[in-house]
């Protein structure tokens, strides 16, 4: 048990910050540049690239069909996105290609401006992406409300699904989502069965393929579901429906390249901004999702939350995304895709997640996938032309449905932003992407303003005092209602104003301040409190306003501040109001010692917080707020532990659970609730083996009379746990010692008496002439209660030595005994001198334990402030051995020759 701990200076890589030259990436910083410059291809990257390639080809063709763009444009975008964005982007594992989020926008642009102008618009959007990435604006793009972002993507998904449903039914989509929805009934009446059946087959395979059971299922699931569904649908269509509409890849010689845009400048600028917005948001959100997937893979977590196999190889570490670099890479890819006549490019969540799950370790997988797409575009044209359009449309339709994510809906509903989410979806489906985003932003601003102005003000008359409760934010918009409510209160009356909000603007502040000054001038009294009942003007150091784990012990009452379960809020406020104004209802009541000490502390606190008139403005002064019931108090404390402290100690407790307890000390102390052993000894889990009982008594062997609990604990600690020291700790104001002094011959033989009789030897020792009175830090005890508390510690050490296991370990030199006294009111610890602890007959002196000198951080610091000649034992900073002087011998470190220097380190 150390009075003060030595600071260990460990200059390791864990304690010193990494230098810039070390290449170690700091949190929230861009990844360091890759050194060496070699493009390495691992086996995992090769297999992952093939997996992503098999997904990307049918999806790229399907998106081209959905946009009514040249089919080869989808392949161009897939190749450019894989190679260019893969090499230059900031997310190594993200796979870019034709943008699913831009399906509706691109289809509309092609219908209005034609294909070649649409390519020019793609180039313009790419140039703006490069500019924004260079200006480091990527993080700002993610500042848009998630409800708007997810609503935009969900609206695009709905529009994609409605459009592709027409192709699955064997027809052509309309110009807008609303038109597609209105045309569905007529289309269903004139549908031929071939295309819908192929589409249904494709969807069925997509759904069933990942869920195939057994060993065969695990084997075939290595083939991507997208490729399997399109391949099966193609094979079935070749046999059952040879006349169905199929992919038609025109000759590359007829491929159209961009031209200078033609049309109204404002409309073209709006189109460029729309492509920029959707492509950038889709890419950045996908990059964030890839980071999460990569972190989950590195931590051994999978989609089904199953732990990794014990012999499974560790997942490779991948650098975190540099979003600004990613935005620049996407911009360069869009510029090149537009120049080559391709579709707009963005990062894809489907392709990227497949890449991560396939085991990719770096950029090689993304780049190789683009190379395979490029080769397929030149060598597999004949095979690609066998694919039915209905199969590609069904594949894209499923992608559209997946963009309406139930997890996103649940999150926005939980955060009360579903109105913003729904408005954005509606706007995108009915009016378009840019219009839908604008509607979502407008609704989000309206919701924020509504919440800002939603201020509830209530007044309750509580027997002459008025309680004014203001819930919500106080802005100028609430000033008229606030002023009207305050004006209705009696002039010169007492009031408590409870402010439950986190913002008050200048107008509201002046309104409340002017009213408060007027009330005070007319003889009234106004108290401002927060929701917890604490005075708002109270200093933060005394308000328990922030409950931080492992910080000063006074914060242990933080979880008592909010509304107490089981006690109505009105009752709590009423108690606070009565406490603020009512005098002591029973000033003449008899108080015990503990009550007297508490009353003195309350008086000092009241004097400290009193205003010029001598009265305290803090609700609760002078009267105690009713305490919670035990069950609710326990539940609240446990909840506070789980929220604040458990995350910090979980790893350490898990280690102790694995290794078992190995405490170094047995600590025997009183059951008094004011004695917090871990606090006063600066101990943590696993340090102390603690025994608490009434009076910190140690029954001598053979006298337990049916109660062997203390003896059993001593035997277990000494023989099984092999503790190195035992401490008997008494404390000031001990109720057991007071009861012991009040014992009479006619005292009822209760359970408490039968236990306290083990303290009778301490009482006899104190009254005996054969034993000198114990002294505390150079003075005599304050009264006979304190004297008995000190004597009891010495006597219980004698009882402890009588136990066989303790005596044996003491004889072996493997155990030390310590006596300790803790003064509760002073928060001061005292240690029994070494000679007395060892039972060598030296004077029974308890020395004060002082704080460590920061310039001399030694493991012991015994200071007697009452004796100007006393010295603090100082030794070599690297020497942990005790400084001791033989009994009765004087030395330079012991000017008095009393031999009372005490070692305080274990």
CB 566 within 8 A of CB 629: yes
Catalytic: which of 369, 535, 731, 775?
731
CB 496 within 8 A of CB 580: yes
Report the alpha-carbon distance of residue 564 to residue 840 in Å, rounded. 54
DSSP 466: E
Candidates 498, 515, 448, 518; CA nearest to 477 is: 448
Segment (H or E) for 490: none
The residue ranges of DSSP E strands in 504-610, in sequence order, are 526-529
Q: How far is CA 82 from CA 323, 329, 390, 671, in A?
A: 17, 11, 26, 70
Between strands 456-462 and 465-471, the pairing is antiparallel
* Owner of token pair 């209602």: 481
Candidates 770, 775, 806, 769; CA nearest to 789 is: 775
What phi and psi, each to the nearest 5 degrees, are found at residue 787?
A: -60, -40
Candidates 623, 519, 518; CA nearest to 581 is: 623
Catalytic: which of 119, 729, 734, 789?
734
Q: SS3 for 847? A: strand
Q: Helix 146-168 vs helix 103-113: angle between axes, to the nearest 10 degrees?
A: 60
Is residue 142 classed exposed, middle or buried when 0-12, 13-18 and 19+ CB atoms within 10 A define those classes?
A: middle
Q: Is 214 left (phi over 0), alpha (psi -120 to 50) or beta?
A: left
Catalytic: which of 317, 451, 643, 674?
674
Q: Residues 6 or more apart from 140 whose CB is under 8 A from it? A: none
Report the alpha-carbon distance of residue 827 to residue 848 in Å, rounded. 11
User: Is 731 one of the annotated active-site residues of the chain?
Assistant: yes
Cα 753 vs. chain centroid, distance in angstroms?
50
Catalytic: which of 45, 324, 617, 672?
672
Candidates 23, 46, 51, 33; CA nearest to 363 is: 46
Q: How far is CA 748 from CA 138, 488, 735, 743, 808, in A?
A: 80, 63, 17, 10, 39
Q: What share of the chain is helix, strand, coil (3-state, %, to 5)?
A: 50, 10, 40
User: Is 351 one of the annotated active-site residues of the chain?
Assistant: no
CB 97 within 8 A of CB 344: no
Report the alpha-carbon distance of residue 221 to residue 306 in Å, rounded. 18
What phi and psi, each to the nearest 5 degrees, are found at residue 463?
A: 65, 50
Report the alpha-carbon distance of residue 300 to residue 304 in Å, rounded. 11
Catalytic: which of 670, 765, 789, 861?
670
| Six-digit token string for 320 | 């975190």
DSSP string covering 591-647, please? --HHHHHHHHHHHHHHHHHB-TTS-B-STTTTSPPPPPPHHHHHHHHHHHIIIIIHH
CB 693 within 8 A of CB 671: yes
DSSP 691: E
CB 764 within 8 A of CB 741: no
Report the alpha-carbon distance of residue 73 to residue 79 in Å, rounded. 10
Report the alpha-carbon distance of residue 613 to residue 591 in Å, rounded. 28
Rg (CA), the chain: 39
User: Is 595 one of the annotated active-site residues of the chain?
Assistant: no
Between strands 845-848 and 775-776, the pairing is parallel
User: Is 546 one of the annotated active-site residues of the chain?
Assistant: no
| Six-digit token string for 10 | 């460990």
User: Is 670 one of the annotated active-site residues of the chain?
Assistant: yes
| Six-digit token string for 263 | 């049309």
DSSP string covering 516-574, please? HHHHHHTT--EEEE-TTS-BTTS-GGGTT----TTS-GGGGGGGGSSPPTTS-HHHHHH
Q: Residues 6 or more apart from 190 whose CB is under 8 A from it? A: none
Active site residues: 670, 672, 674, 731, 734
């Amino acid at each position: 048990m150390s009075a003060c701990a030595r600071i260990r200076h460990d200059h390791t890589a864990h304690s010193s910050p990494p230098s810039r030259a070390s290449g170690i990436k700091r949190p929230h910083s861009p990844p360091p540049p890759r050194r060496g410059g070699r493009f390495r291809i691992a086996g995992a990257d090769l297999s992952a690239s093939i997996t992503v390639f098999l997904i990307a080809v049918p999806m790229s063709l399907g998106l081209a069909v959905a946009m009514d763009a040249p089919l080869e444009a989808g392949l161009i975008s897939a190749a450019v996105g894989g190679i260019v964005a893969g090499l230059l982007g900031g997310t190594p594992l993200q796979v870019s290609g034709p943008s699913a989020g831009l399906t509706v926008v691109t289809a509309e642009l092609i219908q209005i401006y034609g294909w070649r102008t649409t390519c020019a618009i793609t180039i313009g959007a790419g140039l703006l992406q490069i500019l924004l990435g260079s200006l480091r604006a990527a993080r700002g793009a993610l500042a848009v409300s998630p409800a708007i972002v997810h609503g935009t993507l969900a609206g695009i998904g709905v529009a994609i699904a409605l459009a592709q449903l027409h192709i699955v039914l064997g027809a052509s989509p309309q110009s807008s989502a609303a038109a597609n929805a209105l045309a569905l009934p007529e289309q269903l009446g004139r549908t031929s069965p071939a295309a819908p059946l192929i589409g249904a087959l494709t969807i069925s395979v997509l759904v069933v393929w990942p869920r195939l059971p057994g060993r065969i299922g695990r084997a075939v699931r290595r083939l991507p579901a997208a490729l399997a569904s399109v391949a099966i649908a193609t094979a079935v269509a070749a046999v059952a429906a040879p006349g169905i509409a199929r992919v038609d890849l025109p000759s590359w010689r007829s491929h159209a390249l961009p031209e200078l845009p033609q049309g109204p400048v404002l409309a073209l600028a709006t189109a460029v901004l729309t492509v920029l917005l959707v492509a950038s948001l889709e890419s950045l959100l996908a990059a964030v999702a890839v980071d999460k997937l990569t972190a989950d893979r590195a931590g051994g977590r999978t989609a089904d939350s199953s732990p990794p196999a014990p012999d499974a190889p560790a997942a490779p570490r991948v650098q975190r995304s540099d979003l600004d670099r990613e935005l620049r890479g996407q911009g360069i890819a869009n510029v090149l895709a537009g120049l080559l006549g391709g579709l707009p490019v963005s990062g894809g969540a489907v392709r990227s997640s497949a890449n991560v799950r396939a085991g990719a370790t770096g950029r090689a997988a993304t780049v190789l996938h683009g190379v395979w797409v490029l080769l397929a575009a030149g060598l597999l044209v004949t095979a690609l032309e066998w694919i039915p359009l209905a199969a590609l449309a069904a594949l894209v339709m499923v992608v559209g449905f997946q963009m309406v994510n139930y997890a996103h809906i649940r999150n926005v509903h939980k955060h009360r932003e579903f109105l913003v989410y729904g408005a954005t979806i509606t706007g995108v489906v009915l009016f378009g992407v840019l219009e839908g985003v604008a509607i979502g932003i407008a609704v989000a601003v309206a919701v924020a303003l509504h919440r800002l102005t939603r201020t509830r003000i209530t007044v309750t008359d509580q027997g002459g005092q008025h309680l004014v409760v203001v819930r919500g934010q106080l802005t100028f918009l609430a000033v008229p209602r606030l002023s009207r409510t305050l004006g209705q209160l009696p002039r010169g009356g007492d009031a408590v104003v409870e402010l439950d909000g986190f913002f008050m603007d200048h107008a509201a502040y002046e309104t409340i301040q002017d009213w408060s000054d007027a009330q005070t001038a007319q003889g009234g009294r106004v108290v401002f409190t927060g929701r917890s009942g604490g005075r708002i003007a109270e200093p933060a150091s005394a308000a328990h306003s922030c409950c931080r784990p492992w910080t000063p012990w006074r914060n242990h009452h933080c979880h008592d501040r909010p509304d107490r379960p089981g006690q109505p809020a009105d009752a709590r406020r009423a108690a606070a109001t009565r406490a603020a104004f009512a005098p002591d209802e029973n000033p003449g009541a008899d108080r015990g010692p503990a009550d007297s000490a508490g009353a003195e502390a309350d008086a000092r606190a009241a004097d400290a917080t009193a205003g010029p008139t001598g009265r305290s403005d803090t609700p609760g002064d002078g009267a105690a707020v009713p305490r919670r019931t035990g069950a609710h108090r326990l539940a609240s404390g446990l909840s506070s532990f789980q929220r604040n402290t458990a995350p910090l100690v979980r790893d350490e407790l898990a280690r102790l659970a694995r290794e078992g307890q190995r405490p170094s000390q047995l600590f025997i102390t009183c059951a008094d609730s004011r004695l917090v052993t871990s606090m006063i000894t600066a101990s943590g889990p696993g340090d102390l083996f603690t025994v608490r009982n009434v009076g910190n008594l140690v029954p001598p062997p053979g006298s337990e009379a049916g109660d062997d609990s203390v003896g059993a604990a001593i035997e277990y600690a000494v023989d099984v746990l092999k503790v190195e020291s035992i401490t008997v700790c008494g404390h000031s104001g001990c109720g057991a010692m007071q009861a012991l002094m009040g014992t009479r011959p006619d005292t009822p033989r209760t359970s408490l008496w039968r236990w306290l009789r083990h303290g009778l030897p301490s009482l006899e020792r104190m009254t005996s002439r054969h034993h000198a009175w114990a002294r505390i830090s150079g003075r005599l005890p304050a009264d006979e209660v304190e004297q008995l508390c000190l004597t009891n510690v010495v006597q219980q050490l004698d009882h402890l030595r009588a136990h066989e296991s303790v005596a044996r370990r003491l004889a072996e030199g493997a155990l030390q005994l310590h006596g300790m006294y803790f003064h509760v009111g002073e928060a001061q610890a005292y240690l029994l001198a070494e000679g007395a602890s060892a039972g060598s007959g030296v004077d029974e002196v308890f020395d004060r334990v002082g704080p460590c000198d920061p310039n001399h951080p030694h493991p012991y610091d015994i200071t007697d402030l009452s004796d100007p000649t006393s010295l603090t034992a100082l030794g070599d900073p690297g020497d942990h051995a005790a400084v001791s002087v033989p009994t009765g011998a004087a030395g330079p470190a012991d000017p008095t020759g009393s031999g009372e220097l005490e070692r305080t380190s274990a």
